[in-house]
Amino acid sequence: MALFKSLFQSMRSKRESEDAWRGFNRVFAIVLAGATALVFTLLFLVDPLGVVPFSLPIDRPVVDIKQRHFYPMVIRSRRFDSLVIGTSTGRLLDPDRLDKALGGRFANLSLNDGRAWEQWRLADLYVREIGPPKSLLIALDGPWCHPEANAPENLITKRGFPEWIYDENPWNDILHLVNGRMLEFSIRTIVTKLGLRPKRLADSGFAVFVPPEEEYDLARARTHIWGNAAPALPPASPPLVLAEADRAKLKFPALAWIEDLQARTKGKTNFIYLWTPVHVKSQPAPGSRAAALEEACKSRLDTLARDAKALVIDWRIPSPLTRNDENYWDALHYRLPIAHAMIDSLVAAKSGQASDPDGAWIVRHAP
């Protein structure tokens, strides 16, 4: 009798254990399904990159410095009718100041270490989805004159380029949102919208990325500019002059992308080409072959500017400004007052001024 009682209790205990496990599994499945649904709802409704067709119709803040991912959202917000594209040498051009100087509502979409093709893709996206911008200011430097700018290894940087955000199919974006980083961006978006966290960049894409002016240290800047090199760039002697036949053979493939933008906007866009004022350390030595090639590239752009009735203003020249270490944080990045002066020069040039009295800039072509 005791044996049967023990066996019965054992069977009942087993059934209770199985029931308990089934209950646990049921609760776990419900919690997992609920959590998954919540995550997917969060990802697709908040949509931190603004790419999902059925996401919430809200203005999304830029919550991360991944410019290549977030700048398309700035374009698709339709809050801006004018653009700045460029590399980091154009990032300090303040859209608010440009609005007042040139009219319009500017976004600054300059990319850190931006390749010419990446810059073109941003402008191309705007033209495709929004239409011709009122103004397009291209802050020009080395990548636009690269003789192999269209080679695969020169199209993008090691940062990669999220082509899926830029293509014409919004539905293929959904799979790219399902990962931990996008969940983090979604949470950041909510927290930022609630005012609990500052935006990483302004809605216009702008940020003062250099240190505050009060932290400027000339000795440190000179270390960044020159390194161990002597502070001198002797001109080549005699200076190299390219024959016209040699100039005609030169190829600057990135300029074809500028020509493409001019053709597609059909005279509806005010093009402004601004060669940015990098330090002389980052410019070719005067009279060198590199300087001759750069001048040939600038001349080609002048020809394109004539077709578009565009302004071309050149700060990328040896001048008292670009020779003065005190104007720079390093060999590429000028200080904030220089950026303000660059915007002032656009106003002066549009008013008919041909050059800066101190030699900082010249107008290569006026509309």
φ and ψ of 209, to 5 deg: -90, -10
SS (H, E, C) the chain: CHHHHHHHHHHHHHHHHHHHHHHHHHHHHHHHHHHHHHHHHHHHHHCCCCCCCCCCCCCCCECCCCHHHHHHHHHHCCCCCEEEEECHHHCCCCHHHHHHHHCCCEEECCCCCCCHHHHHHHHHHHHHHCCCCCEEEEEECHHHHCCCCCCHHHHCCCCCCCHHHHCCCHHHHHHHHCCHHHHHHHHHHHHHHCCCCCCCECCCCCCCCCCCHHHCCHHHHHHHHHCCCCCCCCCCCCCCCCCHHHHHHCCCCHHHHHHHHHHHHCCCCEEEEEECCCCHHHCCCCCCHHHHHHHHHHHHHHHHHHHHCCEEEECCCCCHHHHCHHHECCCCCECHHHHHHHHHHHHHHHCCCCECCCCCCEEEECC
Do residues 203 and 61 lie in contact, with contact meaning Cβ atoms separated by under 8 Å? yes
The answer to whether position 129 is within a domain reads yes
The answer to whether position 47 is within a domain reads no
CATH code where residue 332 lies: 3.40.50.1110
Return the exposure string of 309-340: e unless at least 16 CB atoms fall within 10 Å of the residue's CB, then b.
ebbbbbbbbbbebbeebebbbbbbbbbbebbe
pLDDT tens digits for the chain (367 residues)?
555 556 455 655 656 566 556 665 666 556 555 555 566 667 788 899 999 888 888 899 999 999 999 999 999 999 999 999 999 999 999 999 999 999 999 999 999 999 999 999 999 999 999 999 999 999 999 999 999 999 999 999 999 999 999 998 888 888 898 888 998 999 999 999 999 899 999 999 999 999 999 999 999 999 999 987 766 567 777 788 888 888 889 999 999 999 999 999 999 999 999 999 999 999 999 999 999 999 999 999 999 999 999 999 999 999 999 999 999 999 999 999 999 999 999 999 999 999 999 999 999 999 9
Nearest to 262 by CA among 294, 296, 303: 303
The answer to whether position 30 is within a domain reads no
* Domains of the chain: total: 1
Q: Which residues neighbour 181 within 8 Å (Cβ) at sequence distance 6 or greater?
A: none
The answer to whether position 51 is within a domain reads no
Alpha-carbon distance of 128 to 241, in angstroms, equals: 41
Alpha-carbon distance of 290 to 294, in angstroms, equals: 6
The answer to whether position 60 is within a domain reads no
- Looking at residue 243, its pLDDT comes to 87
Range of the domain at 258: 67-146+199-365
Cis peptide leading into 48, omega within 30 of 0?
no
The answer to whether position 218 is within a domain reads yes
The answer to whether position 137 is within a domain reads yes
The answer to whether position 9 is within a domain reads no
The answer, as to whether pTM is greater than 0.95, is: no
Contacts for 204-207: CB closer than 8 Å, 24+ residues apart = 204/74, 204/80, 204/95, 204/96, 204/106, 204/107, 204/108, 205/62, 205/67, 205/70, 205/71, 205/74, 205/95, 205/107, 205/108, 205/109, 205/110, 206/91, 206/94, 206/95, 206/96, 206/107, 206/108, 207/91
